[in-house]
Amino acid sequence: MPPPKDWTLSELRELLDKGSISSVEITQHYLQRIEKYNSNLNTFISVIRDQALILAELADKRIANKDNVLPLTGIPIALKDNILMKDVGATAGSKFLKDFVSPYHSTVAKKLLDAGAVIVGKTNCDEFAMGSSNENSAFGPVHNPWKHGFAPGGSSGGSAASVAARLVPAALGTDTGGSIRQPAAFCGVVGLKPTYGRVSRYGIIAFASSLDQVGPLTRTVKDNAMVYDSLCGHDPMDSTSSKHPNEITYKALDSVRDLKGLKIGFARELLTERIDPLIRDNVLASIEIYAKLGAVITDVSLPHLDYGIACYYVLAPAEASANLARYDGIRFTARSPRSMNVEDTYAKSRSEGFGPEVKRRILLGTFVLSTGYYDTFYLKAQKVRSLIRQDFMNAFQNVDVILTPTTPSPAFPLGSKNENPLDMYLSDAFTVPVPIAGLPGISIPSGFTNDSRPMGIQLIGKPFAEKTLFETAYSFEQETLFHERVPTL
Amino acid sequence: MNYETVIGLEVHAQLKTKTKLFCRCENIYGQSPNTLTCPVCLAMPGALPVTNIQAIEFAIKAGFALGCEIQNHSVFSRKNYFYPDLPKGYQISQFDLPLCLNGQLEVTIADQTLNVRIQRIHVEEDAGKLLHGDNLQNKEGSLVDLNRAGVPLIEIVSHPDMRSAEQAAEYLRQLRSILRYIGVCDGNMEEGSLRCDANISIRKPGEQTLGTKVEVKNMNSFKNVQKAIEYEVERQVQFLESGKTIIQETRLWNPDRNITTSMRSKEEAHDYRYFPDPDLLPLELDTQWIETIKSSLDELPHARLQRFQKDLKLPPYDASILTSEKEIADYFEHTLSLYDESKTPAKAKALSNLIMGDVLRLSNELSTPLHQMKITPVHLCKLMNLIDEGQISGKIAKDILDDMAKTGQNPEEIVKEKGLTQISDQGTLHRCIQEVIENNPKQVSDFRAGKEKILGYLVGQVMKATQGKANPAMVNTMLIEELKK
């Protein structure tokens, strides 16, 4: 048996099913680790110890009675703090929602609880999921478990770092422009952004509605598939939720042997001089591994991906400027005590409540939707969105999966990009086009730098081809075993 | 100088669906504040809208009733502005792609027909309500009630086709009648389920271009619509006459002072930054489904009015009163079908007289809508039969109706209980007449001397003697016979 801190979700499942350990014992183990390491890593905004232990007891009864035991029954899991759970705080990393307690369950929280999962707490994130380093949290930055003082990535940095540090076997994140995949790469874990519409957005504090998706962060590909299977499916509470039939993805993974016949597309044009040479070498090496595993590597062209960041930073802020209008100081908690009238309440509460990055994006979004600029920016960006989607669809005529680096560089030091937001935005260059096209994308560990910073590759699939992504990722993982390396805390 | 007035109306009508437009909270007026709310209409973080298909159905009904082209593809957009009654900070509405386009409404005023073109009908959500100072314990504060937030509305936008306040008020009246007829809106202006804004401009006769328009808001009754427009036209005329220029602005009608006051100028107008709501997919409607709604549409007031005149030969006045409300027309037709299957004009007219005269009077007096009155069509039909059979007189019928309205009793029972059966027995009547002749020798001799007008008095005496139960037609004939002997 591996040392306890290294249990994967699938291993925990086996132990629980065999009765060799109880959910309460597992939960206590993780709660202790959180208690021990959270002050240093700052990955959790809130820990719901008592509720978690009650959930664990219920799960143990369920397992003892063999009553509808599902892959996540008894498994501790963390939620990014923009995912609502009834009667539990949800800040979305913002001072504005510091005291907000959700009156209702998000659909994903409800699905997890129905499956018997043990929700242990809410993880730190960039304010309203806007950021790539977790430095935009009102509750302080998260540290990368592999290297203190380095960014864990963002915005789901708390979720990725918690999984990497073995504070939970799995966590949920949300991804709008890379917020699951980029921190997964920085923290050396597996992060999936499902196809748009696959997982319900009901109860997810919205950033950009046409891009936001919930997805799992886990140590292994199989663990990821187990969580994903429990999350997806149509939700009548979300009008953008897809009716595409559910499928079980995790069970077939064990039988994946090689990738003979799988066509992997690779766009060499993406490896520009902006890419860190370490990443360039890593992705080329990863391509070699795939070739060795039997995949056919095919060149593809994605000419419009270069416009991805520009397109994203018009559309996402536009939607965010409206989505964040409800935080107005009239309701929730953060009304400025200095306001004199209604206008003043709005201006002061919002000035005091939001952090600088959120304000920057609200201003940007308000601007691109204004009379006289709508056509030039918003409509133009929508057209670019169609072109990017078309690039992918053309490429998918010839290949099954597209491979890119997840990030242009490995984790950078905290504070190193604060002066230049554009530089920060570019760290999402490879991840942003995927939600723009509504496609599924997964980031998996693909190696380490000499100073132990993880690197990741991204696999992009056709709409609803999550199963193919898992299989492609699993085969690489079993060949390379990067997931077995443990950070020293 | 004479000016031509040009008016276009924007009418907001609340749809009386079971639930709200984007959540399943109940849609009822007058409940305790904030009791009809959920995470969605409270705009809690993370809540998402799901379109109520009944609201779309109602909007399509209105579209058909107003001769619109229903669009298979329409889009919900976000209209962004801050106000405490708007919890999301944006209203979900329709902007460049509305549900209904290009309709019209024929408005009849004193035999003149005016065709008002409808530009568009779009679907949107209502905002909540604010309660201010005076009615609150804390006079400084304001409170927000979100029961109304998310109630479905349609906005019906007319072309600037009206030329007087009277025309505008009549357009609004007929629009209201249609919406009530098809059952999509209860049209209660006081409760705000029907609201109207007017775009008003004036120009010299013969000019082709429109003058600068002023939007007037806050007119919450038909009377106010007419008064506000009349005031605003006069204000604009005086402005131009004194050499000033009218500025494009929004003005508020003040019903206490009977004036309009400036609310905001064009420069201060909001930039609503409309964009398609990414939480909702475009509304794609199946043509067949739209057609089903069309075929389920009830007969419209205008068509019914014409049918009442043509088939039942009712006078225009009767027909217009009876079709002014769907309940009245339904009540009339239901009773008529029981009363006379073949619907002969004479019987239709007799029933119309009773309903227009007495039943509607009672409905008014008791402030009870017709369909909730205790006088059922079955009972009313029995009453008509009693009159026709000569069992009761028209006058007695009115008294019986009063009782029916109060007790809901069967008229036959009332007649029996109170002994109101009409006296048509020749012997009894003869005796009465003899007594009246004996007791009124002067009047009798006057009559015989040629003063025939006195007959009415004598008939009255017979009726009095029988407590109104004598058959008046028989009394008349028999009395003349006796007097001429």
- Could you tell me the domains of chain B? 4-291 (no CATH), 299-418 (no CATH), 426-483 (1.10.10.410)
Q: Evaluate whether residue A359 is within a structural domain.
A: no
* Mean pLDDT score, B343-357: 89
pLDDT tens sequence across A417-444:
888 888 888 889 999 999 999 999 999 9
Cα–Cα distance measured from residue A122 to residue A82, given in angstroms and rounded to the nearest whole number: 8
Chain B CB contacts of A239 below 8 Å: 48-51, 279-281
A17: pLDDT strictly greater than 90 = yes
Model pLDDT, residue B466: 80
Residues A192 and A249: their CA atoms lie apart, in Å, by 13
Of the CA atoms within 13 Å of residue B294, those in its CB half-sphere come to 13
Residue of A nearest to B283 (CA): A239
From residue B172, alpha-carbon distances to B76, B192, B197, B210 in Å are 26, 14, 11, 22
Tokens of A367: 């601007």
Task: Give the CA distances from residue A65 to residues A53, A57, A260, in Å, rounded to whole numbers and listed in that order.
Answer: 18, 12, 43
Supply the pLDDT for residue B410: 87
Stated as kind and residue range, the H or E segment containing A264 is strand A263-266
Instruction: Let me know if A339 is a catalytic residue.
Output: no
- CA torsion angle for A199, A202, A204, A208 (degrees, to 10)? 80
pTM summary value:
0.89
Q: Averaged over A34-57, what is the pLDDT?
A: 97
Mean pLDDT over B435-458 rounds to 86
At residue B135 the predicted structure's pLDDT band, cuts being 50, 70 and 90, is low
Interface test with A, best of B21, B37, B44 (most A CBs within 10 A): B44
Q: Alpha helix locations (H) across A42-156?
A: 49-64, 107-114
pLDDT, average across residues B25-32: 94
Closest residue in chain B to residue A103, using alpha carbons only: B39
Nearest-5° Cα angle at A353, A94 to A144 = 30
Q: For chain A, how many structural domains are there in total?
A: 1
Query: How much is the ipTM here?
Result: 0.96
d(CA B332, CA B334): 6
pLDDT (average), residues B350-378: 88
Residue B220: predicted pLDDT = 86
| Out of A326, A342, A366, closest to residue B88 by CB | A326
For the cut 80, the answer to whether the pLDDT of residue B467 exceeds it is no
Q: Is A80 a catalytic residue?
A: yes
pLDDT value for A24: 97
Q: Give residue B444's pLDDT.
A: 86
Nearest to A481 by CA among A162, A135, A6, A1: A6
> How many CB atoms within 10 Å of residue B141?
10
> Are A239 and B47 inside 8 Å of each other by CB?
no
In this prediction, residue B39 carries a pLDDT of: 97
In this predicted structure, what is the pLDDT of residue A418?
A: 82
Flag if A240 and B279 touch (Cβ within 8 Å). Answer: yes
Looking at residue B405, its pLDDT comes to 86
Pick from A101-115, A116-130, A368-382, A412-426: least confident: A412-426
Across chain B, what does the average pLDDT equal?
Answer: 90
Alpha helices in B296-344 (DSSP H): 301-311, 316-322, 326-339
Q: What confidence score (pLDDT) does residue A180 get?
A: 98
A169 within domain boundaries: yes
The shortest CB-CB distance from B281 to any of A102, A240, A370 is to A240
List the 93-112 stretch of A: residues with Cβ below 8 A of B: 97, 100, 102-104, 106
> What pLDDT score was predicted for residue B148?
97
Active-site residue, selected from the candidate residues A10, A22, A23, A80? A80
Residue A2 pLDDT level (bands cut at 50, 70, 90): very low
- Is B50 within 8 Å of A236 (Cβ atoms)? yes
User: Is the pLDDT assigned to residue B111 strictly greater than 80?
Assistant: no
- Over pLDDT 90: what percentage of chain A? 90
- Residues paired with residue A405 on neighbouring β-strands, in sequence order: A457
Closest alpha carbon to B21 in B38, B45, B41: B41
E strand or H helix at A426: helix A421-426
Antiparallel, parallel or unpaired: β B214-217 and B249-254: parallel
Q: Is residue A463 part of a domain?
A: no
Is-contact A414 A149, C-beta < 8 A? yes
A350 in a domain, yes or no?
no
Q: pLDDT averaged over chain A?
A: 95
Domain membership of residue A386 (yes or no) is no
Q: Residue A5: its pLDDT value, please?
A: 61
Helix axes B426-439, B455-465, angle to 10 degrees: 120
For A178, the domain range is 4-258
Question: Does A203 reach chain B within 8 Å, measured CB to CB?
Answer: yes
Percent of chain B's residues with pLDDT above 90 = 56
For the stretch B64-90, pLDDT in tens is: 999 999 999 999 999 999 999 999 999
> Which of A196, A323, A373, A378 has the highest number of chain B CBs within 10 A, making it the mutation to test binding with B?
A323
Verify whether the Cβ–Cβ distance A204 to B46 is below 8 Å: yes
Which residue shows structure tokens 């900070």?
B89
The answer to whether A162 is a known catalytic residue is no
Give the DSSP letter of residue B83: -
**Measuring CA to CA, which residue among A483, A489, A486 is closest to residue A185?**
A483
Please enumerate in sequence order all residues whose Cβ is within 8 A of that of B452, keeping only pairs 6 or more positions apart, or say none: none
Token pair of A15 as six digits: 């132990």
Query: Is residue A92 a part of any domain in this protein?
Result: yes
Query: Tens digits of per-residue pLDDT, A184-216?
Result: 999 999 999 999 999 999 999 999 999 999 999
Report, as an integer, the average pLDDT of B426-435: 84
Contact B341, B329 (CB under 8 A): no
Interface membership of A88 toward B (CB under 8 Å): no
For residue B417, the model assigns a pLDDT of 79
Q: Give yes or no for residue B21 having a pLDDT over 70.
A: yes
- Which residues of A fall within a CB distance of 8 Å from B278? 208-210, 240, 319
CA–centroid distance for B91 within its chain: 29
Look at A59-73, B231-245, B450-464 and tell me which has the smallest mean pLDDT: B450-464
Which pLDDT does position A1 carry in this prediction?
A: 44
Query: Which residues 256-285 in chain B show a CB within 8 A of chain A?
Result: 271, 273-275, 277-281
Residue A375 falls inside a structural domain: no
pLDDT in tens, B289-325: 999 999 988 888 888 989 999 999 999 899 988 988 8
Task: Give the pLDDT confidence of B273-298 residue by residue, as tens digits.
Answer: 999 999 999 999 999 999 999 998 88
Length of chain A, in residues: 489
Distinct helix (H) and strand (E) counts, chain B? 16, 16
CATH number where A147 lies: 3.90.1300.10
Contacts with B, A 373-432, CB within 8 Å: 374, 378
Model pLDDT, residue B136? 66
Q: What average pLDDT score do residues A249-272 get?
A: 90
In a domain, A400, yes or no: no
Query: Does residue A207 belong to the interface with chain B, where contact is any CB pair within 8 Å?
Result: no
